[in-house]
Structure 1
């Protein structure tokens, strides 16, 4: 990928600064709305997955999963077996979660830098459960599980036919 010249980046930054100086109310409102969306919609959707991953790490389940999936993950992706945990949490929670877990594995020495990059390359996706939770929370204001809410809304009222 071709890098942008520093002059183009400086011009873009100066333009953005000028726009924010001319229209400070809109910039402040956009920043406030972005923070509100994050704390009211995105963060509550991710919190259960953060808690679950910490519990599983603390109980040693991740090590068990690593031993169990090492024969599959090493030849397939050339990562340690613990990469299966990263993949499963990434598929369940979406792209923020697998990046957090991979960084934690890297800091604790469970994987090398190259293995961490590989784990991110195959597990860092926008997944349906995360997108459903964020969408349902944002559109319906639901604070309960999103998947049952979407499922019941799609099905509509139940009717019995004898």
Structure 2
């Protein structure tokens, strides 16, 4: 059998740890229903699992008193689009790096073109690293968000955030 090597973990982790496969298989066989949309036992159990997961994540991220701050989406791309489109308003400024994923670049281009939002793109060095001082110098009074791709899906560089 041919052995495969997977190097695109910045995009999708593969292979996943065996317990992840085991849990997902068990979940889809026993609870793969629409949570919160019905009163039958499986739907109630699925919703309970989501609520418990939301509470655990809120505790992990340091806001245990407000688990409603934890939301789930389809993907990191979807999450970035939801966050940026909901946050940025005409007249705002955002700072991104030239190393960003399309999940950030495309909304940023849209903001400049259609929403009167200014965007500063901070360059990276030849190794793919961004100078934090350059980001600091780019901050304006109307800067609403700074986006820095921690793990580049292109170069593999890890920013020191």
Question: Between Structure 1 and Structure 2, whose CA radius of gyration is higher?
Answer: 1
Question: TM-score, normalized by length of structure 2?
Answer: 0.24
Question: TM-score, normalized by length of structure 1?
Answer: 0.24
Structure with greater strand share of residues:
2
Structure with greater helix share of residues:
1
